[in-house]
Amino acid sequence: MSHPNLPMTEVLVVADCWQHEPDSEAVIQRAVAAAAESVDEDVADAEVAVMLTDDAGIRTLNSNWRGIDKPTNVLSFPALQPEGGWKPGDAPRMLGDIAIAYQTMRREADEEQKPFDHHLSHLAVHGFLHLIGYDHENDSDAEEMEALETQILAHLGIPDPYADRAGTH
């Protein structure tokens, strides 16, 4: 049963490699719920779609939408919002889509010696925050976003993903 103040999160597995991680959908559901509960944004009655893909799929998205012809770990695509705003009784408000690539995410988790579900949670939280307007285009915004990610992940019992990094994002 979903919490009434949380967005509906639909997880779509489009690459067979995700079969190796059968708990991925539950991990993403928990991460998005924790992120939604931690922000001031009204996300009740909203929807988020998360696509679990592979490096080839995310490379295509990255190339088509960002002009970067290589795979990445996560991409977020915020939905355009109606000019008049969303009103109760309207169709569910779409926050946007998140795509996560298995091979890149798995490699990063292994290289950083992090549990797979911790890294997946981090990328789901990161993607969700992009959907509601957070970014890391400059140092100040990056610090704000990283601090919020760290707080949300701590709520899930996940250590600070930036603890071993020297201010890089």
Known binding residues for Zn(2+) are 126, 130, 136
Residue ranges of the annotated binding site are 126, 130, 136
Closest C-alpha among 21, 104, 97 to residue 59: 104
Complete DSSP assignment for the chain: ---TTS-EEEEEE-SGGGGG-TTHHHHHHHHHHHHHHHSSS--TTEEEEEEEE-HHHHHHHHHHHHS--S--SEEEEEPPPPTT---TTSSPEEEEEEEEEHHHHHHHHHHTT--HHHHHHHHHHHHHHHHTT---SSHHHHHHHHHHHHHHHHHTT---TTTTSSS--
Closest C-alpha among 110, 126, 161, 163 to residue 28: 126
